[in-house]
């Protein structure tokens, strides 16, 4: 690993907790299940799939799966792309939209 990848891995160390990985994985599965079960009801609950929410949902769910199973990418750009710093807030935001 190069120096930048090591620095990003160091930034991700606070998120290297088993309970947080499990929570994120379950949260990702819940959103996938909600979309697969009744996409129209889910879209209505979160305010619709627009050009921002749709790709953010897909990206956050994919990122939560990568992070939740414990996979750590080697290259820095993949570490940034699949960072829990982005996926967890997006999933929590979508959860709040769905519940409220």
Tally of domains within the chain: 1
Percent of the chain at pLDDT exceeding 90: 67
Q: What is the mean pLDDT of residues 66-80?
A: 90
Tell me which residue range forms the domain holding 81.
3-99
Residue 45, CA distances (Å) to 24, 41, 93, 98 in order: 21, 6, 12, 5
Q: What is the DSSP string of 29-79?
A: HHHHHHHHH-HHHHHHHHT---TTHHHHHHHHHHHHHHHHTT---SSHHHH
Say if residue 1's pLDDT is above 70.
Answer: no
Residue 18, CA distances (Å) to 7, 46, 52, 85 in order: 21, 29, 30, 16
Summarize pLDDT for 5-44 with one digit per residue, the tens.
888 888 888 888 999 999 999 999 999 999 999 999 999 9
Give the pLDDT confidence score for residue 67 in this predicted structure.
Answer: 93
Radius of gyration of the chain (CA): 14
Chain position carrying tokens 């997006």: 90
């Amino acid at each position: 690993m190069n120096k930048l990848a090591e620095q990003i891995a160091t930034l991700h160390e606070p998120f290297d907790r088993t309970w947080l990985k499990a929570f994120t994985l379950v949260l990702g599965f819940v959103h996938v299940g909600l979309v697969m079960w009744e996409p129209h009801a889910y879209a209505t609950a979160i305010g619709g799939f627009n050009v921002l929410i749709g790709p953010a949902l897909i990206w956050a769910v994919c990122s939560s799966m990568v992070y939740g199973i414990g996979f750590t990418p080697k290259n820095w750009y993949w570490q940034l792309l699949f960072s829990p710093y982005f996926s967890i807030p997006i999933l929590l935001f979508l959860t709040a939209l769905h519940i409220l």
